[in-house]
C-alpha cells in the first residue's frame, strides 16, 4: 500500500507490514494510485469508489491501519472519516483520470539533478512585503497563484469544480493532495516545478511517460494550466521522479532555482530540496505574523559546503546579516517597542515536503522534525532515523564550544516512515553476513570508497583499507563508483536491513511473548481499572501478531501473585497463586505462557471473568515488585514484553515502596531542600531487578491507572531500563480512560517493534560517542541493550570530538541495530548519515536543527531535574539558550544596534521553546511529584517530532470550524493559534493538544447552538468532569471528531481528552498551557525575550 508506484525494487521486509507503517503516518492524503482498497477498518471513511482510479486519493489511512488511534475501534460514536479532505475531493476528481495506472518505468531519481544555483526566491505570499530576491525561473503567475493566496483559492476551486477535468478543478485537489508527496508516479506530484516549465514538460512528457500524466491534465494541457496560474504542481506531480528526472530532460527544471522558495505560506520551514516545492498546503492567509518569509528559507541549500550564502534578511530591521535571522528591536527599557506580532512564532502547515537525503553528493539538511515530509533515501538515512543537532559538523571542538551548541544525534532506528516512502530494503548476504570493515566493524554503506578496481574498499569510519570479499567484488565505473552501486541497496541507501547470519545469534531468535500482569487489589477493582485493563487486553488479543511464534501469558496480583494456566486441555482456567512475595518464584511447568493460538478462547473467558472473580477482593496491598519478578521468571527462558497494569503504590513484597511524597510534605523544611530526591528512585532494588530483566530480554511496559501517588520515580526505573515505557492515567476514570487504555495498549503491541536488540552508533574518526540516553540498559560502554525497541523510541547520542576533522571531508555516523522481528527474524538495521565538516561558525548556525537542538536541551534538562534544585535546572536551560544566541550575536550578526535582538533564522524559536520548557510540567514547581516523574520519563525516549508539541502544544479554535470550512478544506487541522490567552475569547471553544493530553476549552459565553452541536448540551454548566467525545450528526461535531482523529493519528497517541471550562481547576489547567502569558512564576514571552536580550547584551559588554 505504501508503494504507490507499483512494484518496488526491494522486497518489502516481511516483518514490517507495509500497511502498518503506511497507515501510521499522519497525513496520508497522498496519491496512491495503486493503493489497494483495503477494508476500512480504522473507521476512516470509506472512500468513494470512483476516486480510486485516481490514485490521487490519499487512502493510506483508510486501510486497516494498525496504528494507534483507530477511532472506529472505540466504542463511542462512529468516528468520522479520517481524512475528511477526501470527502471534498472526490467530486472534483471524478471526471478526472479514469484510469491511473502508474507508468511502468520510472525515471531515475535525483541523481542527475543540477546543483542548485540561485538564492531563494523567497516569499511568495502576496502579502509579504519583500519580494524574493532569488530570481527564480518562476513565472509571475506563480506568486499570485491561487494556491499562494489561500483565500483566493477556494473561489477558484468552486468555480472550477464543475468543470470536471479542467485544470482549475485540479487546483483544489492539489491543495490537498499536493502537499503529501506521493512518491508514486501516479501520485500527485510535487507542485514545485514552475508551471510554465511543466507545460513543456507535459507536452513532451506524454510521449515518454504517458501514463504518468494525469488524464485531467492531459486533455486541457497547457492552456488550462497557465490559466490556473500554478498548475505546475500537478505536472511535476505525475511522479515523484519527474521533477528530478525531468530535470535533465526539461530545461525549465534545471533552471529552477535550487532554493526554490516554497510557496508562500507553505511550511514555515521550507524543505531544502529545491525542486521540491510544497504546494499549497496551508492557507497562508491565516498566518498571523507578517514576516513569514523568513521562515520559509530556513534551509539554505546544502550546496557548496562552506560557502556562505548571503541571504536576504526579511526581518523588520533593515540590516543585512549574513545569515537568515530574525531581529527585533527590543527596547532595553521596556517592551513598549515590541510589536507582539513580530515576535517569532511557531507556524504550522500540513503541506508535505519532499526530502531527498542527499543531493548532488551533498547531504541535504532535513526538514523540520515537526513538519510533514516524505523522504527519498539517496544515500543518507532518513532524518526520521537519525537527526543531528547541526547538519554540518564543526571541524574542531573549539568551534563547537564557541557556538555553544551541542553536538548530538537523535536516533530513532525503527521510526515510522511516511507511507509513501520506499520501504527499507532488506539485504541478505547469506551465511557470511553483511560486509563490514574488519577494523572498526562498521557496516558497508554508500560512503565506503571502493578502489583498486573494486578489489578493496576504504572504510569511511576508520579509514582502514579492506579487501573486498571475493563474491562481493564488482568493477568500478567511470565515475569511480561500483557499477552495481545503484542495484545494491547497501551501496546507495542510507538505511538498509541485513538479514543477520548465525554469528549474530547467541540463540534462536526469540518468539514474540506478551505477558499481561494486572493489578487486582481492592483499589484497582473498585476504580474499574482492572475491568478496563481486562477489556483492553481482551480486545487487543486479536491484534497480536498471528502465528505459532506468538505466546501469551497472564497473571494478576494483589498481595499475592496469581498465574493462570491457559492450556487448551483444561476445561476451565487454573489459577496458580504464588504467595511468597518476599522470595518470589514462578509456577514451573505450568503452561503459564502458551501459544496464542492454543489459548485464545481460554484467554478471552478468563479476561472476562477476572473482574468478577476479584469483585469482592478486600486486599488493598499490591506486590508489584514481586509480581513483576515472578512474571519475569516465567518469561526468563524466552524474553518478551511484560505489560503491567498497576493501580496503587506497591506496598508489599520485594521492591515495596512507601508514600514518601506525603512524608516529604509533612516535613516541609526538609522537603523543600530535598524535593528533587523524590524524583529519584527510592533505592536500588527495582533497578537491580530491571537490569536482570534486561539481561534476559524482558521489556516492561507500565500502565499506571491510579488515583493516588504511586511513586513513578521509583517504578519507572523498570520500564526505563528495559526499553519499555510508562503510561500514566491520573486520575484514572473508568469511563473516559478505558478507550485510551485500550488504544495505547493496542498501539503498544501492534506498532513496528523488535526484540532482544543491541544498538551501537559508530562515528568517523575524530568524533566519538560520549553518551547514550534513553530507555535501555547499558552493560558495556559502546552498546545499548534493548530488550525491546519500537518505532516510538528515540535514543539521544551525545558526541564529542577526539580529534580535528578536515574541512571539505564528511563525517559519518552509523547506527546499527541488531534485533529480532516479531516474526522471529534476526535483522540488522543499519542507518548511515554522512555530514559535511565545516570550519565556519556561520555554517553551524545556518545548519542548526532547531527541533533536534531543543529536544536535546529538553532531554538534558529532564535528566538534570532529579540531581539538583529546580532553579538550577531552569537556569541551565535559559543559559543554554542565551549562550547560543550570544555566540551568534557576537560572531555572526553584523547588526550594530545594540537595541536589537538578533536571532539566527534556524534557531529563532529557541527562546520561545525554552520559555515553554520552563513552564512545562517537569520544570514547574507546583506540579505533583508523580506528574513530574512521569514527565521526565515520558521525555526520555520521546521522538523529536513530539518534543515540540509537548512543550508548545498545538491550539486550534473549534467554534469557527464551520465558517472556515470552505477556506480550509485542504487541511483537516486548522491553523494553530499561539499559546497566549489574548487569543482566547470567551465565546470560543478551543482544542489544545500536546501529544498526550487534549484539552477542549469551552468559554463562558459560547453560543448555545455550538455547545449543542459539539457536546449535545445546552449550557456550559452541564459540562461534566468525565468527558467522552461523541460525534453528533452535524458538521461541526463531525469536523471536531475528524480533527481529533487526525491528531491522534499524527501523534500515534489516543490523547486523554479533557473538557475545561473557565473558572474551575480544569480551566486553570488549560490556561497553564498558555506559555506566552505572564504567570506568577514565569515571564511572558515578550518579557522573556527581553530578559534574554539583556543577558546577551550584558555578555557583550
Partner 1 sequence: MDFSELEGIEGLRWSWHSWPVSKPEVASLVVPLSIMCTPLTPFSELPILPYEPLNCSQCAAVLNPYSRVDYVSKIWVCSFCYRKNPFPRSYAHINENNIPAELFPTYSTVEYHLGTGPASGLASGLVRSPSGLSGLRSNSSSFSSVSAYSGSGSGLDWAGVGAAVGPAFVFVVDGCSSPEELEALKRELLHTITRLPENALVGLVVFDAMVRVYDLGFTECLKVVVFHGERDLSPEQVKELLGLCQMKQSLGKASAVQKQGFLFPVSECEFNIMTAIEDIHSSPLVKPGHRPLRSTGVAISVAVGLLEGCLINTGSRVMVFTSGPATIGPGMIVNSDLSYSIRTHRDLHNGYASYYKTSSEFYKQISHRLSDSSIILDLFACSLDQVGAAELKFPVESSGGFMMLGESFESEQFRKCLRHMFDRDDDGNLKMFFDASIEVVTTRDVKVCGALGPCVSLQKKNDSVSDKVIGEGGTHVWKLGTLTSKTCIAFFFEIGHEQKAQPSSAFFIQFITKYRCSNMGLRKRVTTAARRWVGKHSPEIASGFDQEAAASVMARLAIHKAERTLAEDVIRWLDKTLIQFASKFGDYAQEDPSSFRLSTNFSLYPQFMYYLRRSQFMDVFNSTPDETAFFRLMLNREGVVNSLIMVQPTLFQYSFDGPPVPVVLDVCSISPDVILLFDSFFYVVIHYGSKIAQWRKLGYDKDPSHESFKKLLEAPELDAEQLVAERVPVPKLVKCDQHSSQARFLLAKLNPSVTQNSTHTEGSEIIFTDDVSLQVFIEHLQALAVQERALSREEEGFNS
Q: Which is nearer to partner 1, 564 or 742 (CB)?
A: 564
| DSSP run (H or E) holding 889 | helix 870-891
Q: Which is nearer to partner 1, 169 or 634 (CB)?
A: 634
CB of residue 581 to partner 1, shortest distance in Å: 9
Q: Which is nearer to partner 1, 590 or 879 (CB)?
A: 590
CB of residue 525 to partner 1, shortest distance in Å: 14
Q: Which is nearer to partner 1, 494 or 587 (CB)?
A: 587
The DSSP result for 682-706, as a single string, is: S-SHHHHHHHHHHHTTEEEEEEEE-
> Does 568 help bind partner 1 (rule: CB under 8 A)?
no
Which window, 559-567, 860-868, 870-878, 923-931, contacts partner 1 (CB under 8 A)? Answer: 559-567
Chosen residue from 144, 288, 401, 590 binding partner 1 by CB under 8 A: 590
What radius of gyration do the chain's Cα atoms show? Answer: 28
> Does 432 help bind partner 1 (rule: CB under 8 A)?
no
> Does 576 help bind partner 1 (rule: CB under 8 A)?
yes
Record the cell numbers describing residue 572, joined without a space: 476451565
Q: Could you tell me if 812 and 447 are in contact, meaning their C-beta atoms sit under 8 angstroms apart?
A: yes
Q: Output b/e per residue, 213-237; b: 16+ Cβ within 10 A.
A: bbbbbeebbbebbbbbbbbbbbbbb
Say how many C-beta atoms besides its own lie within 10 A of residue 768's C-beta.
Answer: 15
Q: Which is nearer to partner 1, 8 or 636 (CB)?
A: 636
> Does 579 help bind partner 1 (rule: CB under 8 A)?
yes
CA distance 211 to 878: 56
Q: Which neighbouring-strand residues pair with 74?
A: none
* β-strands 997-1002, 1056-1061 pairing: parallel
Write down the H helix ranges in 559-684.
596-613, 624-635, 660-666, 668-674
Residue numbers 324-383 binding partner 1 by CB under 8 A: none
> Does 440 help bind partner 1 (rule: CB under 8 A)?
no
Record the cell numbers describing residue 44, joined without a space: 476512516
Which window, 557-565, 905-913, 934-942, 1049-1057, contacts partner 1 (CB under 8 A)? Answer: 557-565
Q: Which is nearer to partner 1, 195 or 625 (CB)?
A: 625
Instruction: For the chain, give percent helix, strand, coil, nearest 5.
Output: 35, 15, 50
CA distance 210 to 217: 11
Q: Which is nearer to partner 1, 158 or 572 (CB)?
A: 572
Which window, 215-223, 525-533, 578-586, 832-840, contacts partner 1 (CB under 8 A)? Answer: 578-586
Q: Which is nearer to partner 1, 572 or 688 (CB)?
A: 572
Chosen residue from 569, 780, 963, 1033 binding partner 1 by CB under 8 A: 569
> Does 127 help bind partner 1 (rule: CB under 8 A)?
no
Q: Which is nearer to partner 1, 228 or 525 (CB)?
A: 525
Q: Could you tell me if 423 and 8 are in contact, meaning their C-beta atoms sit under 8 angstroms apart?
A: yes
> Does 839 help bind partner 1 (rule: CB under 8 A)?
no
> Does 570 help bind partner 1 (rule: CB under 8 A)?
yes
> Does 462 help bind partner 1 (rule: CB under 8 A)?
no
CB of residue 708 to partner 1, shortest distance in Å: 25
The DSSP result for 1027-1092, as a single string, is: ------SSHHHHHHHHHHHHHHHHHTS--EEEEEETTSHHHHHHHHT-TTS-BTTB--HHHHHHHH
The 3-class secondary structure across 222-285, one letter per residue, is HHHHHHHCCCHHHHHCCCCHHHHHHHHHCHHHHHCCCCCCCCCCCCCCCCCCCCCCCCCCCCHH
Q: Which is nearer to partner 1, 588 or 780 (CB)?
A: 588
CB of residue 618 to partner 1, shortest distance in Å: 10
CA distance 25 to 418: 5
Residue with cell 565545516: 838
> Does 585 help bind partner 1 (rule: CB under 8 A)?
yes
> Does 589 help bind partner 1 (rule: CB under 8 A)?
yes
Question: What is the x/- site pattern for partner 1, positions 1028-1067, by CB under 8 A?
Answer: ----------------------------------------
CB of residue 575 to partner 1, shortest distance in Å: 4
CB of residue 734 to partner 1, shortest distance in Å: 21
Chosen residue from 49, 471, 479, 588 binding partner 1 by CB under 8 A: 588
Record the cell numbers describing residue 790, joined without a space: 519500537
CA distance 209 to 194: 19
CB of residue 505 to partner 1, shortest distance in Å: 24
CB of residue 698 to partner 1, shortest distance in Å: 20
Q: Which is nearer to partner 1, 620 or 1023 (CB)?
A: 620
CA distance 426 to 489: 8
> Does 577 help bind partner 1 (rule: CB under 8 A)?
yes
Which window, 279-287, 309-317, 574-582, 915-923, contacts partner 1 (CB under 8 A)? Answer: 574-582
Q: Which is nearer to partner 1, 589 or 963 (CB)?
A: 589
Record the cell numbers describing residue 527, joined without a space: 476504580
**Number of chain positions touching partner 1 (CB under 8 A):** 24
Chosen residue from 563, 709, 952, 1073 binding partner 1 by CB under 8 A: 563
Q: Could you tell me if 85 and 970 are in contact, meaning their C-beta atoms sit under 8 angstroms apart?
A: yes
DSSP 519: E
Chosen residue from 316, 574, 680, 1069 binding partner 1 by CB under 8 A: 574
The closest of 609, 631, 514, 628 to 563, measured between CA atoms, is: 631
Q: Could you tell me if 825 and 14 are in contact, meaning their C-beta atoms sit under 8 angstroms apart?
A: yes
Question: What is the x/- site pattern for partner 1, positions 682-721, by CB under 8 A?
Answer: ----------------------------------------
CB of residue 607 to partner 1, shortest distance in Å: 12
CA 710 to chain centroid = 29
Q: Which neighbouring-strand residues pair with 428?
A: none
Cα distances from 993 to residues 36, 344, 1055, 1065, in angstroms, run: 32, 21, 8, 18
CB of residue 745 to partner 1, shortest distance in Å: 24
Q: Which is nearer to partner 1, 604 or 967 (CB)?
A: 604
The closest of 429, 370, 342 to 854, measured between CA atoms, is: 370
Q: Which is nearer to partner 1, 630 or 678 (CB)?
A: 630
CB of residue 580 to partner 1, shortest distance in Å: 5
CB of residue 550 to partner 1, shortest distance in Å: 21
Chosen residue from 486, 543, 580, 931 binding partner 1 by CB under 8 A: 580
CB of residue 609 to partner 1, shortest distance in Å: 6
The closest of 462, 463, 397, 442 to 800, measured between CA atoms, is: 397
> Does 303 help bind partner 1 (rule: CB under 8 A)?
no
> Does 780 help bind partner 1 (rule: CB under 8 A)?
no
Q: Quote the Cα angle for 12-491-494, to 5°.
A: 65
* β-strands 358-359, 362-363 pairing: antiparallel
CA distance 728 to 704: 5
DSSP 853: H
CB of residue 560 to partner 1, shortest distance in Å: 8
> Does 573 help bind partner 1 (rule: CB under 8 A)?
yes
Residue numbers 594-653 binding partner 1 by CB under 8 A: 606, 609, 612-613
DSSP 299: S
CB of residue 521 to partner 1, shortest distance in Å: 15
Output the CA torsion sign for 198, 202, 208, 212: positive
Binding site for partner 1 (CB under 8 A): 560, 562-563, 569-570, 572-580, 583, 585, 587-590, 606, 609, 612-613
Amino acid at each position: 500500500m505504501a508503494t504507490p508506484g507499483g512494484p518496488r525494487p526491494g522486497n518489502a521486509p516481511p516483518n514490517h507490514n507495509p500497511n502498518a507503517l503506511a497507515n501510521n503516518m499522519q497525513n496520508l492524503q497522498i496519491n496512491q494510485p495503486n493503493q489497494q482498497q483495503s477494508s476500512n477498518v480504522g473507521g476512516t471513511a470509506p472512500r468513494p469508489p470512483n476516486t480510486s482510479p485516481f490514485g490521487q486519493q490519499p487512502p493510506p489511512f483508510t486501510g486497516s491501519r494498525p496504528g494507534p488511534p483507530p477511532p472506529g475501534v472505540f466504542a463511542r460514536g462512529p468516528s468520522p472519516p479520517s481524512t475528511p479532505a477526501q470527502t471534498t475531493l472526490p467530486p472534483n476528481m471524478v471526471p478526472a483520470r479514469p484510469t491511473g495506472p502508474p507508468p511502468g518505468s520510472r525515471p531515475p531519481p535525483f541523481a542527475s539533478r543540477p546543483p542548485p544555483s540561485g538564492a531563494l526566491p523567497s516569499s511568495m505570499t502576496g502579502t509579504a512585503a519583500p519580494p524574493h530576491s532569488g530570481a527564480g525561473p518562476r513565472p509571475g503567475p506563480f506568486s499570485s497563484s491561487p494556491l499562494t493566496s489561500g483565500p483566493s483559492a477556494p473561489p477558484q476551486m468552486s468555480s472550477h469544480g464543475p468543470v470536471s477535468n479542467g485544470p482549475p478543478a485540479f487546483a483544489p485537489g492539489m491543495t490537498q493532495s499536493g502537499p503529501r508527496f506521493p512518491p508514486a508516479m501516479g501520485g500527485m506530484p510535487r507542485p514545485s516545478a514552475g508551471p510554465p516549465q511543466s507545460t513543456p514538460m507535459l507536452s513532451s512528457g506524454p510521449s515518454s511517460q504517458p501514463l504518468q500524466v494525469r488524464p485531467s491534465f492531459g486533455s486541457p494541457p497547457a492552456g488550462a494550466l497557465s490559466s490556473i496560474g500554478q498548475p505546475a504542481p500537478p505536472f511535476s506531480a505525475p511522479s515523484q521522479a519527474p521533477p528530478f528526472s525531468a530535470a535533465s530532460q526539461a530545461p525549465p527544471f534545471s533552471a529552477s532555482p535550487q532554493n526554490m522558495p516554497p510557496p508562500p505560506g507553505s511550511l514555515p520551514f521550507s524543505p531544502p530540496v529545491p525542486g521540491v516545492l510544497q504546494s499549497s498546503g496551508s492557507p497562508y492567509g491565516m498566518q498571523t505574523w507578517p514576516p513569514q518569509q523568513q521562515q520559509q528559507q530556513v534551509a539554505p541549500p546544502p550546496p557548496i559546503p562552506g560557502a556562505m550564502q548571503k541571504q536576504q534578511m526579511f526581518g523588520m530591521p533593515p540590516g543585512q546579516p549574513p545569515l537568515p535571522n530574525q531581529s527585533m528591536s527590543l527596547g532595553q527599557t521596556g517592551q513598549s517597542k515590541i510589536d507582539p506580532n513580530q515576535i517569532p512564532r511557531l507556524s504550522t502547515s500540513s503541506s508535505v515536503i519532499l526530502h531527498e537525503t542527499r543531493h548532488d553528493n551533498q547531504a541535504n539538511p532535513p526538514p523540520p522534525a515537526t513538519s510533514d515530509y516524505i523522504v527519498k533515501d539517496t544515500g543518507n538515512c532518513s532524518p526520521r532515523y537519525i537527526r543531528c543537532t547541526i547538519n554540518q559538523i564543526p571541524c574542531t571542538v573549539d568551534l563547537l564550544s564557541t557556538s555553544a551548541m551541542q553536538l548530538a544525534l537523535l536516533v530513532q532506528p525503527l521510526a515510522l516512515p511516511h507511507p509513501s516512502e520506499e520501504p527499507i530494503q532488506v539485504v541478505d548476504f547469506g551465511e557470511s553476513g553483511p560486509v563490514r570493515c574488519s577494523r572498526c566493524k562498521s557496516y558497508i554503506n554508500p560512503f565506503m570508497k571502493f578502489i583498486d578496481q573494486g578489489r578493496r574498499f576504504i572504510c569511511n569510519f576508520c579509514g582502514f583499507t579492506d579487501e573486498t570479499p571475493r563474491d562481493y567484488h564488482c568493477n568500478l565505473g567511470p565515475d569511480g563508483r561500483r557499477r552495481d552501486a545503484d542495484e545494491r541497496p547497501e551501496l546507495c541507501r542510507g538505511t538498509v536491513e541485513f538479514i543477520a547470519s548465525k554469528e549474530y545469534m547467541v540463540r534462536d531468535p526469540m518468539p514474540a511473548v506478551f505477558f499481561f500482569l494486572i493489578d487486582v487489589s481492592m483499589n484497582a477493582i473498585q476504580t474499574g481499572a482492572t475491568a478496563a485493563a481486562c477489556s483492553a487486553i481482551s480486545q487487543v488479543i486479536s491484534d497480536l501478531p498471528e502465528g505459532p511464534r506468538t505466546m501469551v501469558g497472564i497473571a494478576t496480583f494483589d498481595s499475592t501473585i496469581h498465574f493462570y494456566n491457559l492450556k487448551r486441555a483444561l476445561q476451565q482456567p487454573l489459577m496458580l497463586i504464588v504467595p511468597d512475595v518476599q522470595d518470589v518464584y514462578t509456577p514451573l511447568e505450568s503452561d503459564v505462557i502458551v501459544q496464542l493460538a492454543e489459548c485464545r478462547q481460554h484467554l478471552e473467558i478468563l479476561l472476562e471473568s477476572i473482574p468478577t472473580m476479584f469483585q469482592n477482593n478486600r486486599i488493598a496491598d499490591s506486590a508489584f515488585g514481586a509480581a513483576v519478578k515472578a512474571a519475569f521468571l516465567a518469561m526468563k527462558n524466552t524474553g518478551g514484553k511484560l505489560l503491567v497494569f498497576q493501580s496503587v503504590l506497591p506496598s508489599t513484597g520485594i521492591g515495596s515502596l512507601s508514600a514518601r511524597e506525603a512524608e516529604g510534605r509533612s516535613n516541609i523544611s526538609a522537603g523543600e531542600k530535598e524535593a528533587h530526591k523524590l524524583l529519584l528512585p527510592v533505592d536500588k532494588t527495582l533497578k537491580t531487578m530491571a537490569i536482570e530483566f534486561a539481561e534476559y530480554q524482558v521489556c516492561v511496559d507500565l500502565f499506571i491507572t491510579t488515583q493516588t501517588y504511586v511513586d513513578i520515580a521509583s517504578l519507572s526505573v523498570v520500564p526505563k531500563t528495559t526499553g519499555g515505557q510508562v503510561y500514566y492515567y491520573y486520575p484514572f476514570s473508568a469511563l473516559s480512560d478505558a478507550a485510551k487504555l485500550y488504544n495505547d495498549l493496542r498501539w503498544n503491541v501492534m506498532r513496528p517493534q523488535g526484540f532482544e536488540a543491541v544498538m551501537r552508533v559508530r562515528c568517523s574518526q575524530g568524533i566519538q560517542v560520549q553518551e547514550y540516553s534513553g530507555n535501555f540498559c547499558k552493560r558495556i560502554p559502546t552498546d545499548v541493550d534493548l530488550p525491546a525497541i519500537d518505532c516510538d523510541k528515540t535514543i539521544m547520542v551525545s558526541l564529542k570530538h577526539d580529534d580535528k576533522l578536515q574541512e571539505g571531508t564528511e563525517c559519518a555516523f552509523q547506527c546499527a541495530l541488531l534485533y529480532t522481528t516479531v516474526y522471529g527474524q534476526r535483522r540488522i538495521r543499519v542507518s548511515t548519515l554522512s555530514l559535511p565538516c565545516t570550519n565556519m561558525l556561520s555554517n553551524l548556525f545556518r545548519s542548526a536543527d532547531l527541533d533536534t537542538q531543543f529536544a536535546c536541551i529538553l532531554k538534558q534538562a529532564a535528566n538534570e531535574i532529579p540531581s539538583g534544585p529546580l532553579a538550577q535546572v531552569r537556569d541551565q536551560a535559559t543559559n543554554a539558550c542565551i549562550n547560543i544566541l550570544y555566540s551568534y550575536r557576537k560572531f555572526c550578526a553584523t547588526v550594530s544596534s545594540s537595541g536589537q535582538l538578533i536571532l539566527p533564522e534556524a534557531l529563532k524559536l529557541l527562546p520561545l521553546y525554552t520559555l515553554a520548557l520552563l513552564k512545562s510540567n517537569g520544570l514547574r514547581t507546583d506540579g505533583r511529584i508523580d506528574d513530574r516523574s512521569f514527565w521526565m520519563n515520558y521525555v526520555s525516549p520521546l521522538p523529536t517530532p513530539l518534543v515540540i508539541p509537548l512543550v508548545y502544544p498545538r491550539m486550534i479554535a473549534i467554534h469557527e470550524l464551520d465558517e472556515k470550512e470552505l477556506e480550509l478544506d485542504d487541511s483537516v487541522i486548522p491553523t494553530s493559534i499561539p499559546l497566549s490567552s489574548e487569543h482566547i475569547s470567551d465565546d470560543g471553544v478551543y482544542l489544545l493538544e500536546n501529544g498526550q493530553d487534549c484539552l477542549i476549552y469551552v468559554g463562558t459565553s459560547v453560543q448555545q447552538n455550538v455547545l449543542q452541536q459539539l457536546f449535545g448540551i445546552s449550557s456550559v454548566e452541564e459540562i461534566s468532569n468525565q468527558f467522552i467525545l461523541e460525534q453528533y450528526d452535524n458538521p461541526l461535531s463531525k469536523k471536531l471528531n475528524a480533527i481529533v482523529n487526525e491528531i491522534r493519528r499524527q501523534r500515534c497517541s489516543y490523547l486523554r481528552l479533557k473538557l475545561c471550562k473557565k473558572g474551575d481547576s480544569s480551566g486553570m489547567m488549560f490556561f497553564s498551557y498558555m506559555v506566552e502569558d505572564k504567570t506568577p512564576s514565569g515571564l511572558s514571552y515578550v518579557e522573556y525575550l527581553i530578559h534574554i536580550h539583556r543577558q546577551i547584551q550584558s555578555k557583550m559588554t
